Amino acid sequence: MNTLALLSACAAIVLVRGMWLRAEMARFEPVRSRRLGPLRIELRRRIVVLGHDNGRGGLAFAQAHEQRLRVHRLLGVPVWRELRGIELPPHAMAMLNGLLARDFDAEFAESFRESEFARLDHSLISQLRMGWSRH
Protein backbone atom coordinates (compact mmCIF):
# COMPACT_ATOMS: atom_id res chain seq x y z
CA MET A 1 0.00 0.00 0.00
CA ASN A 2 2.81 2.44 0.83
CA THR A 3 4.51 1.77 -2.49
CA LEU A 4 1.30 2.54 -4.37
CA ALA A 5 0.85 5.77 -2.44
CA LEU A 6 4.45 6.79 -3.13
CA LEU A 7 4.11 6.06 -6.86
CA SER A 8 0.84 7.98 -6.99
CA ALA A 9 2.43 10.96 -5.23
CA CYS A 10 5.39 10.93 -7.65
CA ALA A 11 3.07 10.76 -10.65
CA ALA A 12 0.99 13.63 -9.27
CA ILE A 13 4.11 15.77 -8.76
CA VAL A 14 5.28 15.13 -12.32
CA LEU A 15 1.84 16.00 -13.72
CA VAL A 16 1.48 19.18 -11.63
CA ARG A 17 4.97 20.32 -12.65
CA GLY A 18 4.11 19.52 -16.26
CA MET A 19 0.96 21.67 -16.07
CA TRP A 20 2.97 24.52 -14.52
CA LEU A 21 5.58 24.26 -17.29
CA ARG A 22 2.86 24.21 -19.96
CA ALA A 23 1.38 27.42 -18.53
CA GLU A 24 4.83 29.03 -18.63
CA MET A 25 5.45 27.77 -22.17
CA ALA A 26 2.19 29.30 -23.40
CA ARG A 27 3.72 32.77 -22.95
CA PHE A 28 6.48 31.95 -25.48
CA GLU A 29 6.16 31.51 -29.23
CA PRO A 30 7.66 28.32 -30.71
CA VAL A 31 10.85 28.74 -32.76
CA ARG A 32 12.14 25.21 -33.34
CA SER A 33 11.22 21.72 -32.22
CA ARG A 34 12.97 18.36 -32.59
CA ARG A 35 11.82 14.86 -31.72
CA LEU A 36 14.28 12.23 -30.49
CA GLY A 37 12.16 9.15 -29.91
CA PRO A 38 9.97 9.80 -26.84
CA LEU A 39 11.96 13.00 -26.08
CA ARG A 40 11.01 16.30 -27.68
CA ILE A 41 13.17 19.41 -27.39
CA GLU A 42 11.61 22.80 -28.08
CA LEU A 43 13.11 26.25 -28.44
CA ARG A 44 10.70 29.09 -27.69
CA ARG A 45 11.06 32.87 -27.44
CA ARG A 46 9.31 36.05 -26.41
CA ILE A 47 10.06 39.75 -26.43
CA VAL A 48 9.30 41.69 -23.25
CA VAL A 49 9.80 45.31 -22.27
CA LEU A 50 11.09 45.78 -18.74
CA GLY A 51 11.31 49.04 -16.87
CA HIS A 52 14.48 50.00 -15.01
CA ASP A 53 14.04 51.60 -11.60
CA ASN A 54 15.37 55.15 -11.26
CA GLY A 55 15.95 54.73 -7.51
CA ARG A 56 13.17 57.13 -6.54
CA GLY A 57 10.18 54.85 -7.01
CA GLY A 58 9.73 55.52 -10.72
CA LEU A 59 11.00 54.15 -13.97
CA ALA A 60 14.05 55.68 -15.61
CA PHE A 61 13.61 53.99 -18.99
CA ALA A 62 12.20 50.91 -20.67
CA GLN A 63 14.49 48.22 -22.08
CA ALA A 64 13.52 45.50 -24.56
CA HIS A 65 14.59 41.93 -23.72
CA GLU A 66 14.44 38.74 -25.73
CA GLN A 67 13.94 35.63 -23.64
CA ARG A 68 14.38 32.09 -24.91
CA LEU A 69 13.08 28.95 -23.30
CA ARG A 70 14.48 25.48 -24.03
CA VAL A 71 12.01 22.78 -23.01
CA HIS A 72 12.45 19.01 -22.85
CA ARG A 73 9.30 16.89 -23.01
CA LEU A 74 9.12 13.19 -22.29
CA LEU A 75 6.09 11.51 -23.86
CA GLY A 76 4.53 14.97 -24.29
CA VAL A 77 4.93 16.00 -20.64
CA PRO A 78 7.34 18.91 -20.01
CA VAL A 79 9.97 17.63 -17.57
CA TRP A 80 12.72 20.25 -17.76
CA ARG A 81 13.21 23.81 -18.93
CA GLU A 82 15.99 26.38 -19.11
CA LEU A 83 15.55 30.12 -19.61
CA ARG A 84 18.05 32.63 -21.03
CA GLY A 85 17.60 36.27 -21.90
CA ILE A 86 19.45 39.20 -23.40
CA GLU A 87 18.89 42.94 -23.41
CA LEU A 88 18.22 44.26 -26.87
CA PRO A 89 19.81 47.49 -28.12
CA PRO A 90 17.77 50.70 -27.79
CA HIS A 91 16.98 50.87 -31.52
CA ALA A 92 15.11 47.54 -31.21
CA MET A 93 12.29 49.27 -29.29
CA ALA A 94 11.05 50.82 -32.54
CA MET A 95 10.72 47.43 -34.28
CA LEU A 96 9.56 45.04 -31.54
CA ASN A 97 6.70 43.57 -33.58
CA GLY A 98 8.96 42.86 -36.54
CA LEU A 99 11.88 41.19 -34.74
CA LEU A 100 12.67 37.66 -35.91
CA ALA A 101 14.38 34.94 -33.90
CA ARG A 102 17.46 35.17 -36.13
CA ASP A 103 17.90 38.95 -35.65
CA PHE A 104 19.82 38.62 -32.36
CA ASP A 105 20.51 34.88 -32.55
CA ALA A 106 24.29 35.30 -32.24
CA GLU A 107 23.92 36.99 -28.84
CA PHE A 108 22.65 33.78 -27.22
CA ALA A 109 24.62 30.79 -25.97
CA GLU A 110 24.94 28.01 -28.55
CA SER A 111 22.20 25.82 -27.09
CA PHE A 112 19.71 28.71 -27.40
CA ARG A 113 20.50 29.70 -30.98
CA GLU A 114 18.00 28.93 -33.70
CA SER A 115 20.83 28.43 -36.17
CA GLU A 116 22.60 25.83 -33.98
CA PHE A 117 19.50 24.00 -32.76
CA ALA A 118 19.52 21.16 -35.33
CA ARG A 119 23.27 20.54 -34.96
CA LEU A 120 23.05 20.38 -31.18
CA ASP A 121 20.25 17.83 -31.34
CA HIS A 122 22.42 15.48 -33.37
CA SER A 123 25.14 15.71 -30.71
CA LEU A 124 22.50 14.97 -28.06
CA ILE A 125 21.42 11.86 -29.98
CA SER A 126 25.04 10.70 -30.01
CA GLN A 127 25.35 11.28 -26.27
CA LEU A 128 22.13 9.37 -25.58
CA ARG A 129 23.25 6.46 -27.74
CA MET A 130 26.62 6.33 -25.97
CA GLY A 131 24.86 6.34 -22.60
CA TRP A 132 22.51 3.53 -23.65
CA SER A 133 25.36 1.41 -25.01
CA ARG A 134 27.16 1.53 -21.62
CA HIS A 135 24.31 -0.27 -19.88
pLDDT tens-digit map of 55-113: 776 666 778 888 999 988 888 888 888 999 888 888 887 787 778 887 888 888 888 88
Residue 35 CA, distance from chain mean position: 15
Mean pLDDT of the residues in the chain? 78
pLDDT of 117 reads 73
> Which parts of 3-130 are beta strand (E)?
29-36, 39-53, 59-74, 77-87
pLDDT of 114 reads 83
Question: Helix (H, G, I), strand (E, B), or coil: what is residue 52?
Answer: strand
Tell me the pLDDT band of 20, cut-offs 50, 70 and 90.
Answer: confident
| Per-residue burial over 58-80, b = 16 or more CB atoms within 10 Å of its CB, e = otherwise | eeeeebbebbbbbbbbeeeebee
More reliable by pLDDT, 80 or 130? 80
